[in-house]
Amino acid sequence: MIFRYLHTHLIIVLALITGCFVPFGAFAQIGSSVKAGNEVIVKQADSTIILKTKDSSNLFILVGNVVLQQGRSLFYANKCVRNATNKTFEAWGKVHINDSDTTDIYADHLRYLEDKQVAYFDGNVKLTDGKVVLTTPTMEYNMGTHIANYKNGGKIVNKKTIITSSEAFYYSDIKDAYFKKNVVVNDPAYKIDADSLLYNTDNQIARFIAQTTIKDSANRTIKTKEGFYNLKTGEAEFGQRPFINDNNKSTITANKVSLTEKLAQAEGNAIIVDSTRSTIIIANLVYQDRITEAVLATQKPLLIIKQEGDSIFVTADTLFSAKLSELYKMQEIAAARKKAVEDSIQAAADSALIKNCLLMKLN
């Protein structure tokens, strides 16, 4: 044991004096003595040089198939220079980090602070975690919190959805992304422009926290400051008096607007302007069929019908506007429901009558 210690110590001293190559087997022995805590361990390198600088720092130069480890994170590179005194290292050439088997990051260059567990990447940076692919020229990544951020422009691709922005934070543990400045969301079904946007890559829900413009494939434009949009289902809710323009055929504005694939609901001082029918509906609650364009207004509704040089004002408890075919459909549905109820009542009455007859027979 004493001989092995002296032999290893002699190799280190010679390397510090001459700057010569040290066999990896000897260096691996050195690394194996610092496995406790969050120490960085050198797992592999084709060749190693140990140098002592003027400020008494120890530099370990690792070349070829370099593999380092810290906790559950693995670092790969073609070349690495580690400052054992300052506990930092830099890596070049096919840099790859596998963070806890959940996140992979690739880059041309890496600078890493071992104690803080913070990585700085530059050059063809790419992060993937099984849900998204993030690309950017430069990026900071915290290995402890699993939070990535970029400030020089970047892009996140989630299935068919592509989001670009000047700045962003991505929380890989909970799949949340916070985009800032010049945010653009592109998808086959819509396009979103915003100054800031929250987005979850797992459930594909976008949350609006600033002035936002949405344009869908049907040429419908939505302007809002608050709300959410489920990019998978098309369900959405917008607050702070959003404005919806349906291809210049009609507009909707209200305190709050909710959308599904088939229905729009406007609540609070709602105003529906139909340019094709020359009508305006004002009410506190309005429903609109997004497919047939039928409108149902309630809670003090007012219908204004524009005519040449004049307007007609209509009020009622409830207003319904649609094509006659839709009205006939609704009447048929109502008649069918009425008949079903009557049949149910008759069946119950017949059952009671039969029951009474049986009782009378028994008596």
Q: Give me the torsion for CA of 317, 322, 324, 330, rounded to 10°.
A: -70
Q: What pLDDT is attached to residue 137?
A: 98
Strand ranges (E), 146-248: 147-150, 154-158, 161-165, 167-171, 176-187, 190-200, 205-208, 212-216, 220-224, 226-230, 236-239, 243-246
Give residue 134's pLDDT. Answer: 96
Average pLDDT over residues 5-20: 35
Q: Is the pLDDT of residue 362 over 50?
A: no
Quick one: pLDDT at residue 358?
A: 45
The count of structural domains within the chain is 4
Please tell me the predicted confidence (pLDDT) of residue 27. 39
Mean pLDDT on 152-173: 95
pLDDT of residue 326: 60
pLDDT of residue 236: 92
Domain boundaries, position 26:
1-132
157 and 176 belong to one structural domain: yes
Amino acid identity for residue 41 in this structure = I
Residues 109 and 64 occupy one common structural domain: yes
| Residue 140, in any domain of the structure | no
Q: Burial of 355 by CB count in 10 Å (0-12 exposed, 13-18 middle, 19+ buried)?
A: exposed
Residues 207 and 309 in one domain: no
Q: Is 229 left (phi over 0), alpha (psi -120 to 50) or beta?
A: beta
Nearest to 38 by CA among 156, 117, 121, 122: 117
- pLDDT tens-digit series, residues 263-280: 889 999 999 998 888 889
Amino acid (one-letter) located at 297: A
What pLDDT does residue 80 have? 96
- The pLDDT of 60-82, averaged and rounded, is 95
Q: Looking at the structure, do residues 6 and 53 belong to the same domain, yes or no?
A: yes
Same domain, 26 and 108: yes
Position 341 confidence tier, pLDDT thresholds 50, 70, 90: low
Q: What angle do CA 211, 212, 214 make, to 5 degrees?
A: 160
Same domain, yes or no, for 195 and 252? Answer: no
pLDDT value for 234: 83
The CA–CA distances, whole Å, from 182 to 8, 241, 250, 270, 353 equal 57, 23, 29, 31, 74
Query: For position 296, what pLDDT does the model report?
Result: 87
Q: Is the pLDDT of residue 146 over 90?
A: yes
Mean pLDDT of 253-269: 91
Mean pLDDT of 83-95: 93
Residue 328: its pLDDT value, please?
A: 58
pLDDT, tens only, 310-321: 888 899 898 887
Residue identified by tokens 């607050």 is: 239
pLDDT at position 78 over 50: yes
Q: Does 188 score more than 50 pLDDT?
A: yes
Question: Which token pair is 311?
Answer: 């307007």
pLDDT of residue 349: 57
Does residue 298 surpass a pLDDT of 70? yes
Do 299 and 221 share a structural domain?
no
What is the predicted pLDDT for the residue at 217? 82
Residue 53 has pLDDT above 90, yes or no: no
Q: Count the residues in the chain.
A: 363
What pLDDT does residue 20 have? 36
Q: 145 in a domain, yes or no?
A: no
Asked if the model's pLDDT at residue 17 lies above 50, the reply is: no
CATH, residue 5 = 2.60.450.10
Give domain status of residue 74, yes or no. yes
Where do runs of H (alpha helix) occur along the chain? 2-18, 24-31, 324-362
Query: What average pLDDT does the chain have?
Result: 82
pTM of the model: 0.75
Tokens of 199: 């987005």
